[in-house]
């Protein structure tokens, strides 16, 4: 399939604001710098679609809670006495104070420090002092705000501030299979995200991060230093000689599918940069759990997938991107932990510290690029960013998804197509 790059005259005629700013081969710099576009994104994307918030393993026990962020909303993820997970807006119904101050804990209720209003961990108002001023007990039909819809897939918790819309499963679409791939590497069929989250503030628009996550063009250059120091073979997976592909999974989701490379080597655990003899207990547990399929799972490895708008699974880590302002966002990162995979989990924590920890090299390299991106798009000329790489050589795979080579910008174009459809929709 070959797309045609439109001429200058064609793109200037008619169309919506986003027709003019988002074209098949390029996007306009103001998409990253215009505060009015950022405000519109909050309404049409972050307050409307499904957004990744956290993981059920972060509130494993009844009455556990943890503070989270959903774009500009301070959210408390709780588990009630029935075991159900809730996402509460951290705001008192009386005078608007933040009710929960602690980062995490265990409590069946929250008490506002201003006037003592108390809420159950489901958001229900339990009581308020000196109730005669309100006509007696239980006279107020108030409570903490709630994220309108909450759903989880394989323990990954998503929230939508819109009361109506597509289901989470429809939103995830083909990306569900990538989450399943990750979970399949657990001997017990479950993953946990309870190793602790690192918080990285980045002076960059959130979309630069989302675009970068499945950009296979940059690793050899941006991460060349860490590949050289560690002797990692990962960089070779992103080259003109690679058999890996970049796949547009639809609905803004995309992946770098490295399986063709690993299938070629046919070596279990190569995706993790190790050999079975160095993690014998994990390999044995996988064989016991998955039988003859264990070798295939351990050869193909974990996914490298960006799930629109903010969940990035990078083989051994999970990232949660949250926008703060037009030129600022926060990226949270944690090591994946496979239930039943203690031996491998320890190594994944160590590798995560080395790559995305405070002194880690991988995320520091990327962050430097994001922030240079942001400073660059503030310049006047040229106005556009080019996303045409591989446009002339895309094809359609056996499942109907558009694919490019390992270094093509197929995922970016899929991101922008979906972004445009959301931004052109009615409020």
Sign of CA dihedral 229, 232, 238, 241: positive
Q: Is the confidence at residue 15, as pLDDT, over 90?
A: no
- What is residue 3's predicted lDDT score, i.e. its pLDDT? 39
List the strands of the sheet with 317-325, edge to edge. Answer: 198-202, 328-335, 317-325, 311-314, 304-307, 253-257, 245-250, 402-405, 395-396
For residue 42, report the phi and psi dihedrals to the nearest 5 degrees. -60, -45
**What is the rounded average pLDDT of the residues 198-208?**
97
Query: In angstroms, rounded to a whole number, what is the distance separating the alpha carbons of residues 288 and 283?
Result: 9
Q: What is the pLDDT of residues 334-359, one digit of tens each?
A: 999 999 999 999 999 999 998 898 88
383 Cβ neighbours under 8 A, 6+ residues apart: 28, 29, 30
* pTM higher than 0.75: yes
Rounded to whole angstroms, how far apart are CA atoms 22 and 28?
7
Q: Which run of H or of E encompasses 182?
A: helix 175-183
The arrangement of strands across the sheet holding 156-160 comes to: 51-55, 156-160, 149-153
User: What pLDDT does residue 350 have?
Assistant: 93
Q: Would you mind telling me the total number of residues written for the chain in this entry?
A: 427
pLDDT band at 6 (very low <50, low <70, confident <90, very high): very low
Distances, alpha carbon 180 to alpha carbons 155, 156, 174, 195, 331, in Å: 11, 11, 10, 20, 23
> With bands split at pLDDT 50, 70 and 90, how would you rate the model's confidence at 30?
very high
**Rounded to 5 degrees, what are φ and ψ at 75?**
-125, 145
Residue 311 contacts residue 172 (beta carbons within 8 Å): no
pLDDT, position 5: 44
* pLDDT confidence of residue 14: 64
Q: What does the alpha-carbon distance between residue 332 and residue 316 come to, in Å, rounded to a whole number?
A: 14
ω into 102 cis (within 30 of 0): no
Q: What is the pLDDT of residue 9?
A: 47
Whole-angstrom distance, CA of residue 27 vs CA of residue 31: 8
CA angle (217, 223, 224) in 5-degree steps: 95
Q: Under 8 Å CB-to-CB from 240, ≥6 apart: which residues?
A: 405, 407
Residue 2 scores a pLDDT above 80: no
Q: Within a 10 A sphere around the Cβ of 65, how many other Cβ atoms?
A: 24
Which 3 state secondary structure label does DSSP give 230? Answer: helix
Give percent of the chain above pLDDT 70: 97
Question: Which pLDDT belongs to residue 354?
Answer: 87
Q: What is the pLDDT of residues 273-283, one digit of tens each?
A: 999 999 999 99
Q: b/e map of 294-310 (b: 16 or more CB within 10 Å)?
A: bbebbbbbbbbbbbbbb
pLDDT single digits (tens) 45-96: 999 999 999 999 999 999 999 999 999 999 999 999 999 999 999 999 999 9
Q: Which of 14 and 153 is assigned the larger pLDDT?
A: 153
Burial of 45: CB neighbours in 10 Å, binned 0-12, 13-18, 19+: buried
Mean pLDDT of 166-190: 98
DSSP label of 291? G
């Amino acid at each position: 399939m070959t797309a045609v790059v439109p001429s200058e005259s064609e793109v200037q005629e008619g169309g919506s604001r986003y027709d003019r700013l988002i074209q098949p081969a390029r996007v306009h710099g103001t998409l990253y710098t215009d505060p009015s576009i950022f405000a519109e994104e909050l309404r049409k994307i972050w307050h409307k679609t499904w957004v990744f918030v956290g993981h059920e393993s972060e509130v494993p026990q009844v009455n556990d809670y943890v503070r989270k962020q959903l774009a500009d909303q301070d959210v408390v993820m709780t588990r009630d006495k029935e075991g159900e997970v809730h996402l509460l807006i951290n705001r008192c119904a009386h005078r608007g104070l933040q009710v929960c101050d602690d980062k995490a804990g265990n409590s069946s209720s929250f008490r506002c420090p201003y006037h003592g209003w108390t809420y159950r961990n489901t958001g229900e108002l339990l009581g308020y002092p000196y109730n005669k001023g309100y006509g007696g007990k239980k006279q107020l039909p108030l409570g903490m705000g709630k994220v309108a819809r909450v759903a989880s897939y394989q323990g990954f918790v998503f929230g939508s501030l819109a009361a109506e819309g597509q289901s989470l499963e429809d939103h995830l679409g083909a990306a569900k299979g990538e989450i399943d791939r990750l979970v399949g590497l657990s001997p017990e069929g479950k993953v946990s995200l309870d190793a602790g989250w690192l918080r990285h503030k980045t002076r960059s628009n959130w979309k630069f991060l989302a675009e970068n996550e499945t950009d296979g063009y940059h690793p050899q250059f941006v991460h060349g230093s860490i590949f050289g120091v560690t002797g990692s073979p990962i960089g070779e997976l992103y080259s003109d000689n690679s058999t890996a592909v970049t796949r547009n999974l639809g609905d803004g989701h995309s992946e770098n599918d490295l399986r063709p490379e690993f299938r070629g080597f046919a070596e279990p655990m190569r995706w993790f940069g190790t050999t079975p003899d160095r993690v014998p207990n994990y390999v044995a547990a996988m064989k016991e759990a998955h039988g003859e399929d264990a070798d295939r799972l351990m050869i193909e490895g974990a996914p490298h997938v960006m799930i629109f708008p903010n969940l990035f699974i990078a083989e051994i880590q999970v990232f949660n991107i949250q926008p703060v302002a037009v030129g600022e966002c926060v990226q949270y990162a944690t090591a994946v932990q496979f239930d039943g995979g203690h031996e491998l989990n320890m190594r994944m924590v160590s590798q995560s510290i080395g790559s995305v920890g405070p002194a880690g090299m991988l995320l520091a390299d990327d962050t430097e690029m994001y922030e240079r991106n942001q400073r660059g798009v503030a310049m006047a000329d040229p106005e556009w960013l080019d996303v045409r790489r591989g446009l002339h050589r895309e094809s359609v795979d056996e499942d109907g998804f558009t694919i490019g080579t390992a270094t093509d910008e197929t995922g970016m174009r899929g991101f922008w197509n979906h972004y445009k459809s959301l931004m052109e929709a009615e409020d």
